[in-house]
Amino acid sequence: MLDEGSQRSFPSDREARLMKTRNGFVPAYNVQSVVDSQHHLIGAMQVTDHPNDFEDLQPSIHAMQEDLQVEVSQAVADTGYANEEQILALEEEGKVIAVPFNEGDHSPKEDREHGIFFTYDADNDYYICSQEKILPIKDRQVRKHGKIYRKYQGRDCKGCPLIKFCTTSKKGRIIYRRADAEPIRQYMKKCKGMKYKALIRLRKTWVEHPFGTLKYWMGQIPLLLRGKEKVQAEIDLYATCYNLRRVTNIQSIQVLLQQVHYWGIKYT
């Protein structure tokens, strides 16, 4: 039985969605985890029915801010969260966001093995290939996948010795360049800096261990409950247990009990 958006309906859990796992496609949920870099404590865990992480960067950060009443100044995520609109929106909020991008949508496909690469000349608005041939603009507005691109095409590719490695087009090599993507191109350039590269390398040491520990605890059949709300409660219990164990490794029980006591006095 198919419901809206061609999602399958499963008798055991009608809110679950068919997702690809190591064991093939199974009814599942996606769990977003936000971990603090200092103590590696779980700040937020959100259960979603999204098959990937693309839409969840901004909501996850905002959820942590709301739950803990703190301001997130810096966030690092993997390539699955490379959502242009959300990254730029978070940067406008004054946050430092480090997410590696797949540059395929913003850079022409190159073949370094055969010496094929392209350089964009912003002053003249054209590309120059490694054979020093110019690819001038051919069309200023081409719509692809709901986005606007500029189309550049080589005029004298026929005699090029690398043409068979470069293009199958009889009219010359074609390059599409996003017409509205200058802000994200600047962001990607910034991500190539040492500071951002260091953050991206450190991400795994912060977030992967808590997630791996929870998966180990949950075993072969990770979720016992059904329905998104109940699954969220189950995940929250796991996160709370993890944080309690983590906190006792950071601070002694005696000190923690003192802090709880003072906290209780403060808010009574």
| 8 token code pair | 């399958």
d(CA 31, CA 46): 6
Low-confidence ranges of the chain (pLDDT < 50): 1-6
Whether 164 and 128 map to the same domain: the answer is yes
pLDDT of residue 266: 61
Q: Among the three residues 127, 157, 180, which one is the final residue of a domain in this structure?
A: 180
Q: Which pair of structure tokens corresponds to residue 57? A: 């960067």
Residues 87 and 112 grouped into a single domain = no
Specify the pLDDT at position 102: 67
Could you list the residue range(s) of the whole structural domain that residue 61 is in?
A: 4-100+187-266
At residue 38, the pLDDT reads 87
Same-domain check for residues 9 and 49:
yes
Residue-level pLDDT at 169 = 87
Q: In the prediction, which pLDDT does 5 show? A: 43
**Cα–Cα distance measured from residue 264 to residue 80, given in angstroms and rounded to the nearest whole number:** 41
Residue 194: give its domain's CATH number: 3.30.420
CA angle 255, 259, 265 (to 5 degrees): 145
pLDDT score for 231: 93
Give the burial class of 193: count Cβ atoms within 10 A of its Cβ; 0-12 exposed, 13-18 middle, 19 or more buried: exposed
Say whether both 134 and 84 belong to one domain: no
Task: List strands edge to edge, sheet with 118-121.
Answer: 118-121, 126-129, 134-144, 147-153, 174-178
Q: Are 121 and 113 in contact (CB under 8 A)?
A: no
* Same domain flag for 152 and 231: no
Q: Look at residues 180, 199, 229 and tell me which one is the last residue of a structural domain.
A: 180
Same domain for 82 and 203, yes or no, is yes
C-alpha atoms less than 13 angstroms from C-alpha of 93 in its C-beta half-sphere: 18
Two structure tokens written together for 137: 């603009």
**217 and 91 share one domain:** yes
Q: Do residue 195 and residue 220 come from a single domain?
A: yes
71 and 22 fall within a common domain? yes
| 21 and 139 belong to one structural domain | no
pTM: 0.69
* Length in residues, the chain: 268
pLDDT score recorded for residue 62: 92
Unique residue bearing structure tokens 């016992």? 224
Cα end-to-end distance, the chain, whole Å: 54
Q: What is the pLDDT of residue 6?
A: 42
Domain end, chosen from 124, 149, 180, is at: 180
**Rounded CA separation 197/99 (Å):** 10
Separation CA 263–CA 247 (nearest Å): 16
124 and 231 in a single domain? The answer is no
Q: Domains in the chain: how many in total? A: 2
What confidence score (pLDDT) does residue 233 get? 94
